[in-house]
């Protein structure tokens, strides 16, 4: 008698299905790509808008640095009044004109203190207003340096009105 044959041995080998193609992606990937594109566009637009809105700060810092260099080359220039003019220009750009334009003296100094978080406003004290209205230019470079640094920080970090 013959040995029975194994019926499973007669079966053909299993064929694996074809590998899936990477293109075209599933609809979920298309949706994710669209959302990512929108998010990237919005982020770039927001960065560009912020860069343009903060341009006045960069221009004011450049003017302040140019004024400082001019005082270094010609000590007879009145740095305090020029620095105050630049600060007032920035304040008029950042805050409502009705709140800033008429400020002077201690009210102006209080405004500088109130709108400068994290900035050492010690140079913006009563001596600044005294220096503004004297005919003689300040002769101490240390005073000019501290005033310059504080003005730079105020320009960079003041809280602008919404």
Q: pLDDT tens digits for 89-98?
A: 999 999 999 9
Sign of CA dihedral 58, 79, 106, 151: positive
63 lies in a domain? yes
pLDDT at 86: 95
Q: Specify if 152 maps to a domain.
A: yes
Q: What is the pLDDT of residue 128?
A: 72
Asked if residue 41 belongs to a domain, the reply is no
Asked if residue 114 is part of any domain, the answer here is: yes
Per residue in 49-98, pLDDT tens?
A: 999 999 999 999 999 999 999 988 887 778 888 899 999 999 999 999 99
Q: Is 93 within a domain?
A: yes
138 in any annotated domain: yes
Q: Whole-prediction pTM value?
A: 0.74
Residue 1's pLDDT is 55
User: How many folded domains does the chain comprise?
Assistant: 1
Q: Identify the domain containing residue 134 by its residue range.
A: 54-157
Per-residue tokens: 162 = 């919404």
Q: Is the predicted pLDDT of residue 138 greater than 60, yes or no?
A: no
76 part of a folded domain? yes
pLDDT on residue 106: 85
- Greater confidence, 93 or 137? 93
Q: What is the pLDDT of residues 27-57, one digit of tens each?
A: 999 999 999 999 999 999 999 999 999 999 9
Nearest alpha-carbon partner for 79 in 9, 149, 22, 1: 149
Residue (of 135, 152, 139) closest to 66 by Cα position = 152
Tell me how crowded residue 145 is: count the other CB atoms within 10 A of its CB. 13
């Amino acid at each position: 008698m013959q040995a029975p044959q194994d019926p499973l041995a007669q079966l053909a080998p299993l064929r694996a299905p074809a590998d899936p193609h990477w293109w075209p992606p599933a609809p979920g990937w298309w949706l994710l790509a669209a959302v990512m594109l929108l998010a990237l566009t919005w982020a770039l637009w927001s960065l560009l808008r912020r860069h343009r809105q903060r341009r006045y700060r960069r221009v004011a810092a450049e003017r302040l640095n140019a004024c400082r260099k001019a005082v270094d080359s010609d000590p007879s220039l009145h740095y305090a009044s020029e620095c105050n003019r630049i600060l007032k220009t920035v304040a008029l750009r950042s805050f409502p004109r009705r709140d800033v334009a008429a400020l002077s003296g201690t009210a102006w100094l209080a405004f500088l203190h109130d709108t400068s978080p994290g900035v050492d406003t010690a140079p913006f004290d009563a001596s600044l207003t005294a220096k503004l209205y004297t005919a003689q230019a300040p002769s101490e470079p240390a005073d000019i340096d501290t005033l310059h640094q504080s003005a730079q920080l105020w320009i960079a970090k003041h809280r602008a009105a919404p």
